[in-house]
Amino acid sequence: DQQVKQNSPSLSVQEGRISILNCDYTNSMFDYFLWYKKYPAEGPTFLISISSIKDKNEDGRFTVFLNKSAKHLSLHIVPSQPGDSAVYFCAAIVPTGGGNKLTFGTGTQLKVEL
Amino acid sequence: DTGVSQNPRHKITKRGQNVTFRCDPISEHNRLYWYRQTLGQGPEFLTYFQNEAQLEKSRLLSDRFSAERPKGSFSTLEIQRTEQGDSAMYLCASSLETSPLNGQHFGDGTRLSIL
C-alpha cells in the first residue's frame, strides 16, 4: 500500500510564478516530512523538512506547509526558476528506536517554462 | 565533503549472475541506507546500517540480497542469482545520527539492467 501519495505526476509552471506540489499520507505515525529534488542521472537532493509539531517551514524560495488533520503537505516554490525543473519527491519518517528510513511518494515532475 | 560515491554507475548482466555494488558514504556519517528505485516509483527502503551493524532490513530484501558494512565505512550490496525483477536503480544514502530533519545525502546510484 502506498503510504505517501503524490497524485500529480507532472506540473508545468511559468518562470516567476508559484509552483505548488502536493503530497498526501495515510500513516498517522509519520512524524517528520521531507522534500527531495531529483535531476536525471543524479541522486535525490534534500530540500526542506518539517516536523509534525509545526505547520510551516520556510527556507528561501521554498516553503513547506503541513496540515496534520488532513494528512496533507505541500511544497511552495516562489518565484519558480527554470533550474527548478526536476522531479520532486515527498518523503516521511516514522521515528523508531534506530534509523530514520524514508518512505517516498512516487514523485511529481515539475517543468518551469520561460 | 566529497559526497556519497557509488560504483559502478551502470551494471548490465545476464539473469542468474551475481552482482556487487559499492557505496562510499560521507566520511563522518555513521548511518548508511540502501534504497531501490524502479521506473515511475519513488525510492524504496532496503536496509540500514549504524556503523557496522545492520539494524533493519525491509521485506523487499530477499535471501538473494546481502549487504555489509565492514568497519563501519564503505558498504557493499550483493545480489545473487539475479532475476529480471532486480532491474532497478540502487541508491545509497548516508547521514549523521542527528535530527531526521537534516535529511539523508544520496549518491547518484547504480543502475542495474538484467538481460
Tell me which of B106, B108, B110, B111 to substitute to probe the interface with A (most A C-beta atoms closer than 10 Å): B106
SS3 B96: coil
Instruction: Output the average pLDDT for chain B.
Output: 94
For chain A, give the percent of residues with pLDDT over 90.
91
Look at residue A83 and give its three-state secondary structure: helix
**CA B82 to CA B43: how far, in whole Å?**
20
Q: Kindly state whether B52 is in contact with chain A, defined as any CB-CB distance less than 8 angstroms.
A: no
**pLDDT for residue A95:** 83
pLDDT at B28 over 80: yes
B101:A36 CB<8 A: no
Cell digits of residue A40: 536525471
B57 part of contact set with chain A, CB < 8 Å: no
- For the cut 80, the answer to whether the pLDDT of residue A98 exceeds it is no
Yes or no, beta carbons of B48 and A101 under 8 Å apart: yes
Chain A environment of B55 (Cβ under 8 Å): 98-99
Beta strands in chain A, from DSSP E residues, in sequence order: 4-5, 10-14, 19-25, 32-38, 45-51, 56-59, 62-67, 72-77, 86-93, 103-104, 108-113
Q: Give the separation between CA B65 and CA B81, rounded to whole angstroms.
A: 9
Over the stretch A69-96, which tens digit does the pLDDT of each residue have? 999 999 999 999 999 999 999 999 998 7
The pLDDT of A95-108, averaged and rounded, is 88
Query: Which of A19-23, A27-31, A99-103 is modeled with the greatest confidence?
Result: A19-23
Question: pLDDT digit string (tens) for B70-98?
Answer: 988 999 999 999 999 999 999 999 998 77
59-88 of A, contacting B, C-beta below 8 A: none
Question: Could you give the percent of chain A with pLDDT greater than 70?
Answer: 98
pLDDT at A97 over 70: no
pLDDT of residue B72: 87
Question: Contact A49/A35 with Cβ under 8 angstroms?
Answer: yes
